[in-house]
Structure 1
Amino acid sequence: MNDRALRYFLAVVRTGSIRGAAEVLNVAASAVSRHVHEMEAECGQPLLERLPRGIAPTEAGRVVAEHAQRQADEAALLADRLERLRGVRQGTVRLCCGAGFLVDLLENGLAGFAAAYPGITYTVSLGTTDGILGAIAQNEADLGLVYNPPAHPDLHSVVVARQPLLAILPLGHPAGAASQPLALRAFATEPAALLPRDHGVRQLLGRVEADGGFRLTPRLETGSFELQRRFVTTGMGVAFLPRFTVAAELQAGLLTTLPLADPILSSATAHLVVRTNRRPPEPVARLTGWLSERLIAYRSAP
C-alpha cells in the first residue's frame, strides 16, 4: 500500500464519505474511490461498509486505518527531526479549545510564544467538549484546551488544574458580601446568562439542578463568553463560569465572584490534552510547556 492510498483511506475514515475525503484532500472523488478499491483488492477483503448515514470501516478497515495513522505520525516525526537537525524553528501547531480559553490563550500564551518563536504558526478551532476530544483523538488537532472533560482512552492530560465554577456577580450584588460559599440553589430566582445546553458547563449546572429539584432562571442563553461578561458588568444578572474566563474583568474591578458550595461545581478542572502514545513534534512540545506554565487556566485555584 503506497503512502497516497493510505492517506486517502484515512481521510475517508475520518470524514465518513468518499466525497468528504475528496473535499478535504482537494482531489476528485473518483481518485479516492479508485485507491480504496485497489486497497481492498490488495487486502482481499472489504475495508469499508456502506451505512444509511455514510461509510464506516470494517474490522479490517480499522486495522488499516490504525496503520495509516502510524505512518502519518512517523512521517511527521521524521520531518520534525530533520528540521531540528537543520536548526529550523518552524512548523504549525493545531489547537482546539473551548471559547472560554480564547482570551487567556491569546494574551497569556500565544502572544509571548510568537515573539520567542517567530517561525511557528498556529491554527485555532473552537469546539464543545466532545468535539475537542474527538479532534485530538483523530489527529485533527495537536493540543486541546478543555474544561472538565470525561476520561478518554486515547487521550492524556498534560496539565490538570482545579478551576471551580463560580457565581459571577455584578458589583454591589448582595451575595458579593457573603463570607461563605453559597449553593447554586441560592441563585435559582436570579436572572442568569447561561451557555447552550450542549456545553459542558451547562451540563454541570444541569446535574446540580436535577439533584436539587430546582431550575435556574435563564435571561440570556449564548455561547459567547464576551456576551456573558457584558451581561454581568452591565448589571443584567449573574453568570456561572470559571475564574480564568473573567480574569481581566476581575483585575479591572468590573465584577466580583463568589465560590459555589456544590461539590460537583467546586471540583471542576481545566485540562491541556494530547493524544496518548504520540511523540509530539518539536513546535507542539515547546508550546505545550509554554502554555502549561503561563496560562491562568492552568494555575489551580486556591
Structure 2
Amino acid sequence: MISHEVRSFLAVADSGSLSAASDKLFVAASAISRQIQRLEQQMGVPLFTRHARGMQLTEAGEIFAHHVRKNLLDMEFALAEIKGLKAVRRTLMRIACTDGLAFSLLPRLIAGFRAVNPGVLFDVTVAGTQGVAALVRNGECDLALQFSLHAEPGVEVAGSWPAPVLLVMHERHPLAQAAGITLADLSPYPLALPQQNTTVRQLFDLACHMSGYLTEPVLTCDNFSTLFHFLRHTPLAVTICSAFTLPEEAEREGLRLRSVGIEQLSQRTLQLQRPSGRPRSAAVQHFTDYLLTQLPALAASLHPRGQA
C-alpha cells in the first residue's frame, strides 16, 4: 500500500544515508538512489542534500516526509478500524516520555491500566524534551508525558499539572528538617545533578545564577536512576527532581523532598501531550481518560508533602 519510491525515501530520511537504507530494506543502494531520483523528478525539487557524510532532507523533503508519515498513520488507523481493533482489545500503544517520568511514574500508571485492560500493549520511548516534542509533532507516538517550560508548537496539551523543582535528600540529612533552605545551604554537600539539556537542570541553574550561587556537582548524568542510586549510597548527597519522579520511592527509601522558595524553580509543569488533529483509537482515548483521572489525584497528594 506504499510505493517502493516512498518506502525508499522514508528509509533514507530516517537513516541519513543510502547504505544504511540499503541494509534496512535489503535493496541495493543504487536502486534506492534511482527511486528517490524518480520522486524528485515527479516533484520538480530535490528532496535531499547530498554530502560526503550522507543525505539530509531539504525543506521540501521535510514537508514531504511529514505528510507521508501522517498519511501512513491515518492508514494504520483505518486498517485497525476495519479489522475491528478500535475497541480496547489487543492493540499497541506508543508512549513517549522524558527520563524522570520513565523512572517510576509511567511504569506505575501502565501497570495500573493493564490490570484492567490486559490486552493493551505498550511501547515506551524515552527521549529528551525536544526529542519527545518531535515524536508528538511527527505523530510517532500516541501520547507523551514530559516536564515542560512552555507550550510546544504542533502539540496538543490534554492536561497540565505544576511540577516544581524540589531538593531530594536522606531524611537524616542536616537540611532535611531545616527551616527556609537556601541554595547557598547546599555548598557543603555533594550535589548529583541531571545534565544541562533537562528542564529540571535548566531551572536549577537559572535559580543558582539569580541567587549568585555557583554549583559544582560531583556527579552529572542524564539517567535519573543513576542519581537516585548514588543518593541512596551517599548519605549527605542532594539531588533534584519533581515529586512526580518519586511518587512512592521517597517515603519507602527514607528520602525527604524539600522546596526552595525561588520563583524560577516553579516554572515547570508536567504535561500530557498528544499529536494535534490526529484520529485516536478507543484504547488511546481510554488510556488518556485514565491518566486524566490518576494524575490530578496524584498531584494533589504529592505536592503538599513534597514541599513541606
Q: Please classify the TM superposition score into its range, dividing by the shorter chain length.
A: 0.7 to 0.9
Per the alignment, in what secondary structure is the counterpart of residue 208 of structure 2?
Answer: helix
**Whole-Å separation in 1 of the counterparts to 2:208 and 2:76:** 46
Mean alpha-carbon deviation: is it higher for 88-97 or for 58-67? Answer: 58-67
Is 2:146–2:272's contact at 8 Å kept on the other side of the alignment?
A: yes
Is 1:161–1:298's contact at 8 Å kept on the other side of the alignment?
A: no
Q: How many residues align?
A: 300
- How far off is 1:197 after superposition? 2.6
Per the alignment, in what secondary structure is the counterpart of residue 124 of structure 1?
Answer: strand
**Whole-Å separation in 2 of the counterparts to 1:53 and 1:164:** 42
Is 2:9–2:36's contact at 8 Å kept on the other side of the alignment?
A: yes
Mean alpha-carbon deviation: is it higher for 47-56 or for 214-223? Answer: 47-56
**Whole-Å separation in 2 of the counterparts to 1:264 and 1:24:** 46
1:106 is matched with 107
- How far off is 1:117 after superposition? 2.4
- How far off is 1:85 after superposition? 6.7
- The gaps in structure 2 that reach 5 residues or longer are none
1:216 is matched with 215
Per the alignment, in what secondary structure is the counterpart of residue 236 of structure 2?
Answer: coil
**Whole-Å separation in 1 of the counterparts to 2:15 and 2:297:** 32
- How far off is 1:88 after superposition? 6.7
1:198 is matched with 197
Is 1:190–1:217's contact at 8 Å kept on the other side of the alignment?
A: no
AA of the residue aligned to 2:163: Q
**Whole-Å separation in 1 of the counterparts to 2:250 and 2:58:** 53
Q: Deviations for 1:72-100, whole angstroms, at most 9, x for unmatched residues?
A: 12202202322447857122112222222
Give TM-score, length-normalised by structure 1. 0.85
Structure 1 residues 45 and 163, CA gap change in structure 2 (3 angstroms): closer
Residue 187, structure 1, aligned to residue 186, structure 2 = yes
1:33-72 pair list within 5 angstroms: 33-51=33-51, 53-72=53-72
Q: Deviations for 1:201-237, whole angstroms, at most 9, x for unmatched residues?
A: 2222112222223222312223332332333344131
2:136 is matched with 136
AA of the residue aligned to 1:219: V
- The gaps in structure 1 that reach 5 residues or longer are none
- What is the root-mean-square deviation of aligned Cα atoms in Å? 2.8
Give TM-score, length-normalised by structure 2. 0.84
Residue 158, structure 1, aligned to residue 163, structure 2 = no
- How far off is 1:297 after superposition? 9.6
Q: Deviations for 1:247-290, whole angstroms, at most 9, x for unmatched residues?
A: 32333261112112111112321112222222223333222222
AA of the residue aligned to 1:202: R
1:75-90 pair list within 5 angstroms: 75-84=75-84, 89-90=89-90
Structure 1 residues 63 and 165, CA gap change in structure 2 (3 angstroms): closer
Structure 1 residues 15 and 277, CA gap change in structure 2 (3 angstroms): farther
Is 2:80–2:86's contact at 8 Å kept on the other side of the alignment?
A: no
AA of the residue aligned to 1:280: R
Per the alignment, in what secondary structure is the counterpart of residue 247 of structure 1?
Answer: coil
Is 2:165–2:204's contact at 8 Å kept on the other side of the alignment?
A: no
Is 1:104–1:295's contact at 8 Å kept on the other side of the alignment?
A: no
**Whole-Å separation in 2 of the counterparts to 1:236 and 1:51:** 52
**Whole-Å separation in 2 of the counterparts to 1:123 and 1:86:** 18
